Amino acid sequence: MKKLTELSDRFFENIDLKGISKDEHSESDRQCFKTILSQFLASGDKSDAFCVYYCFSEIFKLFGEGYGNTQKLLELLSDHEYHSGELLSKHRDHYSHSVYVFALGLAIYANDAAYRTGFLNFYSLPDNNRSQVQFLYLWGMAALFHDIGYPFQLAHEQIKIYTEELWGKGAPPYVSFGNYDALIALGKENSNRISDALKTDRRFNTLNELFAYGLKIRMGYDEKDMCERLASRVLKQPAFMDHGYFSAIILAKQLLARSDINLTAERLDVLTAILLHNSLSRHEFKNKYPVSPEAHPIAYLLMLCDELQNWDRQAYGKESKLDPIAWDIELDIRNNSIKVNYLFESRTAYDREAGLDRINKHYDEIQTGRFTAKILSDEDKNGILKSTLSLAVQSKIALKTKKIKLYASENNFINLCDFAKAIHASYNELCLENCSKALNEEFEQLPLEFKISNIEQAKSYAQKLELINCFYSSKDLDYPVVTDFNSTDYGAAGSDNLGFLCREEHLRWVREKLSMGWKYGTDYSSTKERNAKKIHKDIVPYEVLTPQERTKDELMVNNIIPFLKKFGHNIRIYNYRSGRKPDIEIAGIGHRFFSDNRDKIKKKIKQLLKEYSRTNRVIVRTCYAYGADQLIAECANEMGITTKAVLPVGYEQYIAMVRNDCLAHGYRYTEDDELRLRHLLAQTVVCKAISSPNGSYDAALNYIMKKCDKVIALWDNEYADETAGKNCRTLRGIEIAKKYGHTIGDDIKILRCHTL
Q: Which residues contact 203 (CB under 8 A, 6 or more apart)?
A: 191, 192, 195
Asked whether 705 and 733 are in contact (CB, 8 A), the reply is: yes
DSSP strand E in 102-224: where?
A: none
Most distant CA pair in the chain, distance: 94
pLDDT number for residue 500: 87
Q: Comparing C-alpha atoms, which of 118, 132, 159, 147 is closest to residue 13?
A: 132
**Per-residue pLDDT at 404:** 56
* 90: pLDDT strictly greater than 60: no
For 445-500, the pLDDT digits (tens) are 888 898 898 888 888 888 888 888 888 887 888 888 888 887 766 655 557 888 88
Question: Considering only 92-101, 262-271, 396-405, which range has the smallest mean pLDDT?
Answer: 396-405
> Phi and psi dihedrals of 182, rounded to 5?
-70, -35
pLDDT at 193: 92
CA distance 371 to 389: 15
Q: Compute the distance between CA of residue 705 and CA of residue 725 in angstroms, rounded to an integer.
A: 19
Q: How far apart are CA 670 and CA 675, in angstroms?
A: 9
Which residue from 686, 707, 675, 630 is spatially nearest to 504, judged by alpha carbons? 686
CA-to-CA distance for 14 and 31, rounded, in angstroms? 11
Q: What is the DSSP string of 454-501?
A: HHHHHHHHHHHHHTTTEEEESS--SSPEE--TT--SSSSTT--HHHHH
The C-alpha R_g of the chain, in whole angstroms, comes to 29
Assess whether pLDDT exceeds 80 at residue 409: no
Containing 619, the helix (H) or strand (E) segment is: strand 617-622
Judging by beta carbons within 10 Å of its beta carbon (0-12, 13-18, 19+), is residue 436 exposed, middle or buried? middle
Helix (H) / strand (E) element for 9: namely helix 4-9
Give the pLDDT band (50/70/90) at residue 285: confident
What does each C-alpha distance from 590 to 130, 274, 721 come to in angstroms? 50, 56, 18
> Looking at residue 81, what is its pLDDT?
56
Q: Of 471, 403, 463, nearest to 617 (Cα)? A: 463
pLDDT at 159 over 80: no
Q: Given this model, what pLDDT does residue 47 score?
A: 83
Look at residue 670 in the predicted model and tell me its pLDDT.
Answer: 94
| pLDDT for 724 | 46
Asked if 233 and 248 touch (Cβ cutoff 8 Å), the reply is no
Cβ–Cβ under 8 Å, residues 465 and 471: yes
C-alpha–C-alpha distance, residues 231 and 42, integer Å: 42
| Segment (H or E) for 715 | strand 710-715
In tens, the pLDDT along 111-130 reads 999 999 999 999 999 999 99
Give the helix/strand (H/E) hosting 56.
helix 46-60
Residues 6+ apart with CB under 8 A from 441: none
The amino acid present at 666, given as its one-letter code, is G
Average pLDDT, the chain: 85
Question: For 226-378, where are the E strands, in sequence order?
Answer: 328-334, 337-344, 348-351, 356-359
- Hey, where are the domains in the chain? 4-397, 413-575, 583-752
Q: Of 173-177, 284-288, 576-580, where does mean pLDDT reach its minimum?
A: 576-580
Q: Would you mind telling me the total number of residues written for the chain in this entry?
A: 756
Residue 411 predicted with pLDDT over 90: no
- Beta strands 481-482 and 572-575, pairing class: antiparallel
Say how far apart CA 203 and CA 188 lie, in whole Å. 9
Given this model, what pLDDT does residue 614 score?
Answer: 82
The whole-angstrom separation of Cα 380 and Cα 284 is 20
Angle at alpha carbon of residue 362, lines to 277 and 297, rounded to 5°: 25
3-state SS class at 647: strand
**Sheet with strand 748-752: strands edge to edge:** 686-689, 642-647, 617-622, 583-590, 710-715, 748-752
* 618, HSE (Cβ side, Cα atoms, 13 Å): 25
Q: Which band of pLDDT confidence, cut at 50, 70 and 90, is reported for residue 279?
A: confident
Strand, coil or helix: 148: coil
**Sheet order of strands, 470-473 included:** 470-473, 572-575, 481-482
Q: What angle do CA 325, 327, 328 make, to 5 degrees?
A: 120
Strand ranges for 500-616 from DSSP E: 519-520, 535-536, 572-575, 583-590
Q: pLDDT tens, 319-376? A: 556 778 899 999 999 999 999 999 999 888 766 666 677 888 899 999 999 999 999 8
557 vs 530 pLDDT, higher one: 530
438: CB partners within 8 A, 6+ apart:
none
Q: Is the separation of the CB atoms in 591 and 714 below 8 Å?
A: yes
pLDDT at 719: 46
Q: What are phi and psi of 165, to 5 degrees?
A: -70, -30
Q: Is 91 helix (H, G, I), strand (E, B) or coil?
A: coil
The answer to whether the beta carbons of residues 590 and 715 sit under 8 Å apart is yes
CATH topology for the 583-752 domain: Rossmann fold (3.40.50)
Q: Which of 11-20, 293-302, 528-537, 556-565 has the highest mean pLDDT?
A: 293-302
- Given a contact cutoff of 8 angstroms between Cβ atoms, the answer to whether 436 and 492 are in contact is no
Find the range with the poorest average confidence among 283-292, 472-481, 631-640.
283-292
Q: Please state, for a pLDDT cut of 70, what percent of the chain lies above it.
A: 86
Side-chain half-sphere exposure of 416, counting CA atoms within 13 A? 27
Contact yes or no for 273/384 (Cβ under 8 A): no
CB 271 within 8 A of CB 211: yes
Give the mean model confidence (pLDDT) for residues 75-92: 56
DSSP-assigned states of every residue in 155-167: HHHHHHHHHHHHH
377 or 669: which leads in pLDDT? 669
For the segment 175-216, what is each residue's pLDDT rounded down to a tens digit?
A: 777 888 999 999 899 999 999 999 999 999 999 999 999 999
What is the per-residue pLDDT for 151? Answer: 78
Q: What b/e string do you get for 741-750 counting C-beta neighbours within 10 Å, with b at 16 or more?
A: ebeeeebbbb
User: Residue 392 CB: number of other CB atoms within 10 A?
Assistant: 11
Is it the case that residue 429 has pLDDT exceeding 60? Answer: no
Pure H helices in 523-580? 527-533, 547-566
Q: How far apart are CA 73 and CA 151, in angstroms?
A: 11
Q: Under a CB-based contact definition with an 8 Å cutoff, are residues 710 and 612 in contact?
A: yes
> What span, in angstroms and rounded, lies between the C-alpha atoms of 480 and 547?
32
Q: How far apart are CA 686 and CA 722, in angstroms?
A: 36
